[in-house]
Amino acid sequence: MQSRKKNELKVRLPAEWERQSAVLMAWPHISTKWAPYLENARKCISEIIRAILKFEDVILVVPDKKQAEETRKLFPSERIHIQIVPSDDIWARDFGPITIFRNGRLELLDFKFNGWGEKYMFQKDDKITEKLKKLGAFGKIQRRSVKFVLEGGSIESDGEGTILTTEKCLLNPNRNPELSKKQIEATLMSALGAKRILWLKHGKIRGDDTDSHIDTLAKFADKNTIMYMACNKKSDLHYAELKKMEAELKSFRTASGKPYKLIPLPCPDPKFDEKSAQMPATYANFLVINGAVLVPTYQDKKDSIALKTIEGAFPRRKVIGIDCFQLIFQHGSLHCATMQIPE
């Protein structure tokens, strides 16, 4: 864990549970990897959009005028803001802006996106935040370009200066190979106003291609509580890594020096694609919005356990399960497909 007592600038990365003005999403289209199961993917994304619209606005990226017209008919709401911008995929969590408060004002940090280490096409997605800003999608919020590769799914914030992340992702040479761990820590502290960085050395979900994004493994429920993927079945392929991660989480301390309250989430039964490859089903990939928590489900007998567990952690919010089985075919889930814009 790296820490510092005071930030040079009054910069703060808000927690996901703080008030939001909108959620950014992107529409699956035929020129993406969603082509083989486009209808099912759109059905899932539509369910997420409709759930969010009950509580707040959605900024939806579509690739052309035709699909703008089609989606306006699908979502006849004043809360949806459709923007025509070319895209490579739907993973707004990772290409979207990371929004901070700088001296009390919102600022969009537009980090570099390189397709999770140049595994996939990324050139269009890397330009989305810049183009949305020019189109006026974010109103008067200022955008700042940051020459550092960082995906939103790789960091968790408690809103008070603690960042939870993984070494497998942020220290991977496919992101910022020229920088040392200390330099990466310094960047997070400067750009995000981090006071403390909690590094997980262990943790991996089978089928994950993000190099262990934290939002597949563990998330803050409040500043003193972490929900995490747990595995107690020794025959499960996740067992060894998740047990090591659990031990690390138990060793972490809050800013006040106390152990975190840890809430385990179950592992869904293994899910496989048409090539018999295991897909990354994880309940940690939930999204907190104004008044609700959207939880991915996977047509699994443990869905109800996960929903009940998350309800206990967010008693003042409505917990809504959304079938995201289709999303894991492209190695992501609900949280990955969304990026909140704070109020």
Decide which of 3.75.10.10, 3.30.70.20, 3.90.1200.10, 3.40.50.2300 is the CATH code for 2-342.
3.75.10.10
* Count helices and strands in the chain by DSSP H and E runs: 10, 20
Q: Do residues 196 and 3 make contact, with C-beta atoms less than 8 angstroms apart?
A: yes
Per-residue pLDDT of the chain (343 residues; tens, 9 = 90+): 554 444 445 999 999 999 999 999 999 999 999 999 999 999 999 999 999 999 999 999 999 999 999 999 999 999 999 999 999 999 999 999 999 999 999 999 999 999 999 999 999 999 999 999 999 999 999 999 999 999 999 999 999 999 999 999 999 999 999 999 999 999 999 999 999 999 999 999 999 999 999 999 999 999 999 999 999 999 999 999 999 999 999 999 999 999 999 999 999 999 999 999 999 999 999 999 999 999 999 999 999 999 999 999 999 999 999 999 999 999 999 999 999 999 9
Longest dimension (CA), the chain: 55
Q: Do residues 273 and 279 make contact, with C-beta atoms less than 8 angstroms apart?
A: yes
Q: Record the pTM.
A: 0.96
DSSP 162-226: EEEEEHHHHT-TTT-TT--HHHHHHHHHHHH--SEEEEE-----TT--SSS-GGGTEEEEETTEE
Two structure tokens written together for 79? 């809360």
Q: What is each CA distance from 203 to 3, 33, 44, 296, 312, in whole angstroms? A: 22, 27, 27, 19, 24
Domain edges within the chain = 2-342
User: CA–CA separation, 127 vs 298, rounded Å?
Assistant: 32
User: CA–CA separation, 61 vs 304, rounded Å?
Assistant: 32
Q: Do residues 203 and 167 make contact, with C-beta atoms less than 8 angstroms apart?
A: no
Q: Do residues 228 and 262 make contact, with C-beta atoms less than 8 angstroms apart?
A: yes
